[in-house]
Chains A and B, each alone.
Chain A
Amino acid sequence: MVILLIILFYLFVTPRMVYAYIDPGSGSYFIQILIGLLLGSAFTIKLYWKKIKDRFIGKNKNENNEESGVK
């Protein structure tokens, strides 16, 4: 798992870093991008899956939206 994360990190993050001033939270930003990529994709898939499921079982739309974060 560590190796997979390192590969992902270098493939997707490192080459696109540029620009100007030192930010002490940079490491934190990149971790968010990295895990955001991984977790975000799963989260989005889960969301759409829920949407499809709800269409068939007719769950309350507003309730679902509040939980999922979709407006």
Chain B
Amino acid sequence: MKIMKRVELNNPLEGSYKDPSGLVYSSGKKIYRTVNRNYKSNYDLLISSGLYEELVDKNYLVSYTSVNNIKKLLEIYKVIRPQYIPFISYPYEWCFSQLKDAALLTLEINRRSLLKGMILKDASTYNVQFNKGKPLFIDSLSFEKYKEGEPWIAYQQFCRHFLAPLLLAAYCDFRLIHLLKTYIDGIPLDLTSKILPYKTHFNFSILSHIHFHAKAENYFESKFKGRSKYFLPKNSLLAINDNLKELITSLELKIKSTEWSDYYSDNSYDSRSLQTKKRLIEKFMKSIKTKKIIWDLGSNIGFFSKNLNLEKSLFIDIDNDYLAIEENYLDTKKKGISNVLPLNIDITNPSPGIGWTNSERMTLVERGPCDVVLALALVHHLVFSYNLSFANISDFFKRITKWCIVEFVPKNDLQIKRMLLNKKDIYTDYDQINFEKVFSKNFTIMEKVSINSLGRLLYLMKKK
């Protein structure tokens, strides 16, 4: 007879304190979620209405199993164990199309919920994660019974979390999505209204959901002292939901064709050297037993994550080039690739911990360590553009990975010569011997192979 180990729930995750319906706990790779008695009727309705089954079948909602071998307090109705998401990402790390897909998923879930007599009580971007290449709604406790005539309580949150950043990216500049890092509860609507160009006042949907909404918020905050007794028919809610969906579907990242073409020409690779590198990496990877999660730092449009023969590994493609990440995501989506997650992160200024006590949303380092770091043609950029030393880079890699595959580019390389064209050469200790000496403090060099005749080298290193 199999004896089940009793699970203890200690220290809920910092980001889960807001919802009184339950808390989230983690125990290694397992996530547990308590369902409080005050949420019992909603939880039961989610199941009995068939909504849970429908959304899980469609891969819209995270699935879970019930946990019985657990010591629970009186106020806890149930403990569930949601499916494991191997890497948690945040909206300020997503590109435009990832945020758009997450928004459309939220609206579709809300629509389906309304048809089953329920509604989303919150519409936060943090309720969505990317899993197997697609957005997945992870908050099983976001559903509540729809009361006929009531408005959508999460409407304002949806506008701040999804609509505002998407509109700012589409009408102003894609970099404005990063405002989500400053505003953890979504970009304020009055700020969005101020930044958006005046022509957006002539679009009925933007006028209503943003400009008018912002003014109404401001007006009623000081004047209104009561709850509306209005009856808002379900069809009106469905119509608002549809209108938001139509608006978001119509949004596109407007990149001038010249910018796109420059972008591609600037990133044209020497295909022979790429193929050589690919073969060498594949050979190195054979020596690494566990390679479930690979962080490709400076991934660009994701050539290696998509071409290395490693379907069982999850690649986190990290690049500070927003358009490269956008392109990477659209390509993975088009090809149905499920093991690549492109993220717009600047490795010299990685995502910080934000929210209450800086711990509601984790830093990038806290979401590691990964099994393998790929740092191809990256180190020389960090040295010559950011003045980071080999020791800085090696110490950082030590914190985030167990293994790393690093490319060393010699100083006589054309790329470095270009970088030093208008800069004083203060990098006297930049050479292969020093590189190996410094990295050897934290890592054991397992293999070293020449990539080309110009002196570029590829290293396989294991953390000491």
Q: Write out the residue numbers on chain B whose beta carbons fall within 8 Å of the beta carbon of A47.
A: 235
- B232–A20 contact, CB under 8 A? no
- A26–B230 contact, CB under 8 A? no
B424 within 8 A of A: no
Q: Write out the residue numbers on chain A whose beta carbons fall within 8 Å of the beta carbon of B202.
A: 1
Tell me the smallest distance from the CB of A19 to a CB of chain B, in Å. Answer: 3
Give the contact-size bracket for chain B.
35 or more
- B239–A36 contact, CB under 8 A? yes
Cβ-closest chain B residue relative to A5: B212
Known: A18-B226, A19-B229, A23-B224. A36 touches B217 (CB 8 A): no
- Taken together as a complex, chains A and B put the C-alpha atoms of A71 and B235 apart, in Å, by 11
Tell me the smallest distance from the CB of A39 to a CB of chain B, in Å. Answer: 4
Q: Write out the residue numbers on chain A whose beta carbons fall within 8 Å of the beta carbon of B155.
A: 28, 31-32
Q: Write out the residue numbers on chain A whose beta carbons fall within 8 Å of the beta carbon of B220.
A: 26-27, 30
A56 within 8 A of B: no
Q: Write out the residue numbers on chain A whose beta carbons fall within 8 Å of the beta carbon of B153.
A: 25
Chain B interface helix/strand/loop/mixed: helix
- Taken together as a complex, chains A and B put the C-alpha atoms of A71 and B224 apart, in Å, by 36
Tell me the smallest distance from the CB of A21 to a CB of chain B, in Å. Answer: 7
B237 within 8 A of A: yes
B218 within 8 A of A: yes
Within 8 A of A (CB), among B104-123: 111, 114-115
Q: Write out the residue numbers on chain A whose beta carbons fall within 8 Å of the beta carbon of B237.
A: 32, 36
0/1 string, B229-242, CB within 8 A of A gives 1: 11011111111101
A37 within 8 A of B: yes
- Taken together as a complex, chains A and B put the C-alpha atoms of A47 and B233 apart, in Å, by 14
Q: Write out the residue numbers on chain A whose beta carbons fall within 8 Å of the beta carbon of B215.
A: 27
Known: A25-B153, A26-B224, A27-B213. A32 touches B229 (CB 8 A): no
0/1 string, A38-70, CB within 8 A of B gives 1: 011011100100000000000000000010010
Tell me the smallest distance from the CB of A35 to a CB of chain B, in Å. Answer: 5
Tell me the smallest distance from the CB of A45 to a CB of chain B, in Å. Answer: 10
- Taken together as a complex, chains A and B put the C-alpha atoms of A37 and B208 apart, in Å, by 12
- A69–B235 contact, CB under 8 A? yes
Tell me the smallest distance from the CB of A23 to a CB of chain B, in Å. Answer: 6
A22 within 8 A of B: yes
Q: Which of B114, B216, B236 contacts A43 (CB 8 A)?
A: B236
- Taken together as a complex, chains A and B put the C-alpha atoms of A71 and B117 apart, in Å, by 10
B339 within 8 A of A: no
- Taken together as a complex, chains A and B put the C-alpha atoms of A37 and B152 apart, in Å, by 14
- Taken together as a complex, chains A and B put the C-alpha atoms of A45 and B242 apart, in Å, by 14
Q: Write out the residue numbers on chain B whose beta carbons fall within 8 Å of the beta carbon of A40.
A: 232-233, 235-236, 239-240
- A31–B204 contact, CB under 8 A? no
- Taken together as a complex, chains A and B put the C-alpha atoms of A32 and B213 apart, in Å, by 9
Q: Write out the residue numbers on chain B whose beta carbons fall within 8 Å of the beta carbon of A31.
A: 155, 208-209, 212-213, 216
- A27–B204 contact, CB under 8 A? no
B227 within 8 A of A: yes
- A33–B230 contact, CB under 8 A? yes
Within 8 A of A (CB), among B401-416: none
- A33–B227 contact, CB under 8 A? no
B391 within 8 A of A: no
Q: Write out the residue numbers on chain B whose beta carbons fall within 8 Å of the beta carbon of A19.
A: 225-227, 229
Q: Write out the residue numbers on chain A whose beta carbons fall within 8 Å of the beta carbon of B232.
A: 32-33, 36, 40
- Taken together as a complex, chains A and B put the C-alpha atoms of A32 and B208 apart, in Å, by 9
User: Can you pick out 9 interface pairs between chain A and chain B where the beta carbons lie within 8 Å of each other?
Assistant: A18-B229, A20-B226, A22-B225, A32-B152, A33-B228, A36-B232, A39-B239, A40-B232, A69-B114
- A residues with a Cβ closer than 8 A to B are 1-2, 5, 16-37, 39-40, 42-44, 47, 66, 69, 71
- B residues with a Cβ closer than 8 A to A are 111, 114-115, 151-153, 155-156, 159, 201-202, 204, 207-209, 212-213, 215-221, 224-230, 232-240, 242-243
